[in-house]
Structure 1
């Protein structure tokens, strides 16, 4: 009786259509059964989908029986985390053809369905019990080899414990194909844990990106190699312009950036775009200024919140170039660079390295930041500094700035060596060249940057000179 009541409660309600009424006409018992279903379905909103005219010849009782069976199978499969109807059909194929249930033409026919449902459930449970998740063979053993301590430290800094575990069990670490990229990766793992201050410990500040900073700077260390300009394009390609012309152009662009109060990133990106375009495109000297203002327009659109208008750049050149010429040059530069404007410049690395240098001070030294920025900006005018990577120039500016402010202590420490991945010996050439710029040993007359950093708002760092030359460190 319990099964019978359950079957009657779960018996679906059916809306009688003309097609179904026509199907009931073949048997008086079927029609009586449909009347009882109509009475039972009164006042309820749910109904089974109507049967199409093409399928009206089938018996309604047998249709109800098939729907009972289909619902039972899908319900059980769903509860067993089998969501696909294809999986249900595969299970049905394993069991073999479905057994037909003999249906009587009287109202008590529903009493036979619980037995069929129990039979289906039992067989389905038996089939599902045979399904097992594939397990790896127990005999498979992975040979674990210990990594060097320096490599483990680099992986902890840039990838976490999961990356360390993966690197131990993998046959070999994936190494960059380029020789310079390989050397960069080797340097990233060359530091020890001794006396290193964690400058990424401020996890509460979302603007610091503390969790992602090591990965970000590891990535841009490789990007600076891929998108660096040629170091000898003046000798190999350009015939109408000279390094001094390039210096005059950039010195004038420094004044333009001050006039429009542009951020330093705009100036650095402008110089990068100019050098990358000149590395593979011949430019006449009459169009060099046009290239300069166009690259500053592009950099302003990329870095500034409110970029100057095209007409303003035309006005700053005393209307030497028209609006159409600037827009035409803009299209030429962007198409040549394939719109690859996300380039790590010296300013990008300088922020990171100054932060590492400030870690050894109890109170941040403002003069150190201004002086490092001053020394780094001096290099953008000089064509000879293209042979140094932006990260090398940034590290050299920090070292020389610390030495200029204090000669009693060594300007390089394990924290700076770790975050710059450069040793003091590797910065020897660039630091000596940078000191010559600071002292202006060649008597350069391009003074826009020097005048800029003589202002009190920059603590007049352009006037600071060390009593002892930095060459004594090496």
Structure 2
């Protein structure tokens, strides 16, 4: 009887494996897409995010708090838009900020200095033509000098041991959107531009949420896409998406609840930090933060567990 059960389970597992398409095989003749290496690349990125974690509630006992961090990042989003920087630069700036602060507490007077320095470091890493140090000093209304920013830059880089390669949610979202939009995919996994843009908005809102700092970039990306397709098309997380993201929908649910909470707070005027919402209300970004689905019962019900008094 036991042997029969084992055989049955093996067969179920085998069938599940066969039902998952190889999303890269169609690109074997396109070397620039690295189809032969992409699975190993993302395996390595998953490994990196584990090796470079951010602890939950790392500011416990600090002089600074979650609200000060949110105020800083809301300002950084505005600076990022002012300088017209790459999306990667914003995410890396926040990652550098959190990774530094979790091992190097600073006073509230120096918090903005750390933030602007994190953006300088991220700009040098990601941008072809990064703003110069003087630009960052100017954007702080000259609250800090070039010399202070450069001194903080040295401290940040030494503290992080010059390891700036922590993967970003954007890296995983692009992969997830690509596999969800294959020509052979079922309608339940199609991913269009609007769905991708909504996922980006949901991800960017998480930057301000201190309660979400401990989630891995791959988890943030998967949850954002899962919630996006649920809101726009009522589509569940497919076996293919589960296989390649390594997360099932049950694992993503608590993260989606936090994302829904963020949407409810920013739409309901329960937060002063609206830079991300304002940014995504522009025509350039499809006015995605204004779509009616973000005020639906699905969002409010999902957020209820975290917003109830």
Same topology, TM > 0.5: yes
Question: Any conservation in 2 of the 1:353–1:416 contact (CA below 8 Å)?
Answer: yes
How far did residue 199 of structure 1 move?
A: 4.1
Partner of 2:193: 366
Aligned pairs for 1:198-213 within 5 A: 198-199=23-24, 201-213=26-38
Q: Deviations over 1:190-244 (max 9, x none)?
A: 96220435245313433322111100101111110110122121114x2x21101
- Residue 433 and residue 287 in structure 1: after superposition, are their counterparts in 2 closer, same or farther (change >3 A)? same
**Structure 1: where are the runs of 5+ without partners?**
1-147, 154-189
* Distance in 2 of aligned mates of 1:244 and 1:260: 24
1:285 matches 2:108: yes
1:455 matches 2:282: yes
Q: Structure with the greater relative contact order (CA < 8 A, sep ≥ 6): 1 or 2?
A: 2
Partner of 2:166: 343
1:248 matches 2:71: yes
Partner of 1:415: 240
Q: Which has the higher helix share?
A: 2
* TM-score normalised per structure 1: 0.57
Aligned pairs for 1:39-438 within 5 A: 192-196=17-21, 198-199=23-24, 201-236=26-61, 238=62, 240-359=63-182, 360=185, 365-407=192-234, 410-438=235-263
Question: Any conservation in 1 of the 2:20–2:243 contact (CA below 8 Å)?
Answer: no
* Distance in 1 of aligned mates of 2:214 and 2:277: 23
- Residue 403 and residue 284 in structure 1: after superposition, are their counterparts in 2 closer, same or farther (change >3 A)? same
**Structure 2: where are the runs of 5+ without partners?**
1-8, 303-309
Q: Deviations over 1:372-429 (max 9, x none)?
A: 111000000110001321111111100110011112xx32111111110111111111
Partner of 2:5: none
Partner of 1:469: 298
* Distance in 2 of aligned mates of 1:430 and 1:305: 34
* Distance in 1 of aligned mates of 2:201 and 2:88: 14
Aligned residue pairs: how many? Answer: 284
Question: Any conservation in 1 of the 2:222–2:245 contact (CA below 8 Å)?
Answer: yes
1:444 matches 2:266: no
* TM-score normalised per structure 2: 0.86
* Distance in 2 of aligned mates of 1:390 and 1:373: 12
- Residue 282 and residue 413 in structure 1: after superposition, are their counterparts in 2 closer, same or farther (change >3 A)? same
How far did residue 464 of structure 1 move?
A: 2.1
